[in-house]
Chains A and B, each alone.
Chain A
Amino acid sequence: MAEKNSVNKYRVHLIETDSALDRMLSFFFTNLASNATLVPAEHAEIAVIDYDAPKATAALDRFRKQVPDCPIVALAYDAPAEKNLLHLPKPVTLDQLEKFFDDAPWQALQLEPQTVETELQTEPPRSPKEDLTLPVQTSTVWNLPQDQLSEELYDARHYLQGWLQRAYRQANLTKIPVRLLLPEGPLYLYPREKVVVTPMTEAFLIETCRRPLEQVVLEAAPEAVLSEHEEGSHFSMRAFLWQVALYCSRGRLEQALVKKELFLFKRWPNLTRWLRTPSALPIVAFFYNGPHRIEEATTDLAVPQAEVQALLSAAAALDLLAFPKKEITSPVEVPQLQRQERSILRGFLKRLLGI
């Protein structure tokens, strides 16, 4: 099981009302809380507001438009008239705040016991399940280019990857569409729908990612409308950034990772929908099951170092990596396979790979 770290803290958004209590709450979550951490609204699992502040109503409305489903706890002297707010009575001490997040009462609202036996939901008509040749979007495999690279590292900031990351940050912060003006045409990010629209073909995109991009215009595009774009050029934002990072890497390691010794995948990438390299699954499994060095993966899995570096660079772009300082006990309990079991599983794997 994973050790408790910042990933396991409740993600809290403070709905700002410019009150004195806001400043206390901000200080508490930033410096004192052991079980909660402040995050932007779109990443929050619970929000907090000083309900008695003069600007509270307007701030609440804005937040709800942005994140309609997030539970909200209102700090107030009197219970709010609205029934869908959790109430934490004032005056509230820091100990009471800490205990509130220990108890996490909003989870009871979401996780009431439910029998698995529910009626079958009415679904929109779908194609017959016997037809397994449906045009389902799946990931594709990309083979790293074989050209010899003179450098082992690359700085993502000077490539499309870095520009894209900046654009993502702006879009996620403002929730307003962002446009990147590239020589090949504008690229649009729609943060609410989490979609990227680009006019580039895959070949063009790969070519764009090969060379540094020193000047790119990045601007807000509030007038942009997703529905006005052609369907074929849409990508999920995370899938697109992963893909661009792979293309920019081409087997080199992103330079921010060069000082890291041990790598651990915090989360499994969505490889049924994201671009894969030929050995992506075993490489990700290797680094997911425990922190390892790059050379260990190359040796133990008999895979090219370039492929390992490309996947780690892409993972870093999406904040999927942790960098333990030292060897730790594997966070994943790997079942011990008997020899016969391993042999059968190898045969099964060959079947699955179509070998």
Chain B
Amino acid sequence: MVDREIKILFGGPFGSGKTTAIECLSDIGVVRTDAEASDVVGRVKPTTTVALDYGLIELDGGRRIHLYGLPGQERFDFMWEILSKGALGMVLLIDNYRPFPLRDLEFFLKQFRPFLERRALVVGVTKMDLKPKPEIEEYQAFLEKKTLRFPIMEVDARSREDIRLLLQTLLYSMDPTLGRKDAHG
């Protein structure tokens, strides 16, 4: 990453709202990278694809925020490590409508453990309007049992306001003084 650019990751299982969330923020249309499976998997499931989402926020002075939506499929986990390099933080979206969302959370926290030991994370739980349980308190208790501490809130990935609040939370968790009016960069 050059001096005027930073990278933020969006992680989470397939269908959790990563693309929608990036669309809420990006100044450009979200770029999706699809690839047909060409390996042995492709013989079994020829229609399997991988999607990598990319969005961009352009600030004044040529400064840029790169948004990367990580593919949710486990077999592309090699991309996770590559894309994580140089990222400042991650927004993890968990789909509460899936059968075992707490397991999903545990899976991603485990996969990104080395990254998360150095970088900030916020967790947004989506689709709670479709399936209200587990509740946010259950997610919090789950994190506490793992002796982990990350902000976790309910979000609707289609809501610009929710996604903005989630990103604000990520930034403030990196530095609560970021918004001081008298602060200098």
Distance, CA A123 to CA B161, complexed state (A): 23
Chain B's interface size range is 35 or more
- Identify the closest chain A residue to B3 (Cβ): A340
Measured in the bound complex, the distance between the Cα atoms of B5 and A134 in whole Å is 32
The smallest beta-carbon distance between A11 and chain B, in angstroms, is 8
A266 to B137, CA, bound (A): 12
Q: Is A28 an interface position by the 8 A CB rule? A: no
Q: Give chain A residues whose Cβ lies under 8 Å from the Cβ of B117.
A: 333
**What is the minimal beta-carbon distance from B59 to any residue of chain A, in angstroms?**
4
**Cβ of B97: which chain A residues have Cβ within 8 Å of it?**
121, 123
Question: Interface code B136-159, partner A: CB below 8 Å = 1, 0 otherwise?
Answer: 110011001101111111111111
Contact A282 B165 (CB under 8 A): no
Question: A216 within 8 Å of B by Cβ?
Answer: no
Contact A121–B15 (Cβ < 8 Å): yes
Verify B167–A352 contact, CB threshold 8 A.
Answer: yes
Binds B, one of A56-64, A253-261, A267-275: A267-275
Q: Check B149–A45 contact: CB distance below 8 A.
A: no
In the complex, per-residue mask of A121-134: 1 if CB is within 8 Å of any chain B CB, else 0? 10110010101101
Contact A349 B168 (CB under 8 A): yes
- Measured in the bound complex, the distance between the Cα atoms of B14 and A7 in whole Å is 32
Which B residues are CB-close (under 8 A) to A342? 175, 178, 185
The answer on a CB contact under 8 Å between A270 and B153 is yes
* Cβ contacts under 8 Å, B23 to chain A: 129
B104 touches A116 (CB 8 A): yes
Given A134-B159, A353-B168, answer yes or no on A116-B72 (Cβ-Cβ < 8 Å). yes
| Pairwise interchain contact A272-B155, C-beta atoms closer than 8 A | yes
Given the complex of chains A and B, what is the CA–CA distance between A116 and B14 in angstroms? 8
Contact A120 B15 (CB under 8 A): yes
A116 pairs with B107, CB closer than 8 A: yes
Asked if A286 is an interface residue, CB under 8 A from chain B, the answer is: yes
- A65 CB within 8 Å of chain B: no
Contacts of B61 in A (CB 8 A): 347
Indicate if B46 sits at the interface (CB-CB under 8 A).
Answer: no
Contacts of A267 in B (CB 8 A): 137, 140, 144
Residue among B4, B99, B144, B157 having the largest count of chain A Cβ atoms under 10 Å: B144
- Provide the residues of chain B in CB contact with A346, threshold 8 Å: 178-179, 183, 185
Interface residues of A in 237-270 (CB under 8 A from B): 238, 266-268, 270
Q: A134-B159, A343-B185 are in contact. Are A120 and B14 (CB under 8 A)?
A: yes
Q: Mark B119-138, 1 if CB is under 8 A from A, else 0.
A: 11000100100100001110
CA–CA, A352 and B168, complex, Å: 7
Instruction: Decide yes or no: A341 and B156 within 8 Å by CB, A285-B172, A335-B89, A335-B118 being known contacts.
Output: no
Shortest A299–chain B CB gap in Å is 10
A149 located at the interface, meaning its Cβ lies under 8 Å from any Cβ of chain B in the complex: no
**For residue B140, which residue of chain A has the nearest CB?**
A267
Given contacts A8-B144, A120-B14, contact A281 B180 (CB under 8 A): no
B88, A335: Cβ atoms under 8 Å? yes
- Shortest Cβ distance from B161 into A: residue: A138
Residues A271 and B169 in contact, CB atoms below 8 Å apart: yes
Neighbouring B residues of A7 by C-beta, 8 Å: 144
- Is B31's beta carbon under 8 Å from chain A? no
Bound CA–CA A281/B179 (angstroms): 10
In this assembly, does A20 line the interface, its C-beta being within 8 Å of a C-beta of chain B? no
B75 at the interface (CB under 8 A from A): yes
Q: Which of B63, B74, B98, B156 is within 8 Å of A347, CB to CB?
A: B63
Interchain CB contact under 8 A, B185 and A348: no
Q: Does B47 lie at the interface of the complex (its beta carbon under 8 Å from any beta carbon of A)?
A: no
Q: Which residue of B lies closest to A134 (CB)?
A: B158
Complex contacts, B180 vs chain A, CB 8 Å? 301-302
B43 CB–A CB distance under 8 Å = no
Least distance between B7 CB and chain A CB atoms (Å): 11
CB-nearest residue of chain B to A320: B140
A111 touches B20 (CB 8 A): no
Tell me the bound Cα distance from A11 to B172 in angstroms.
32
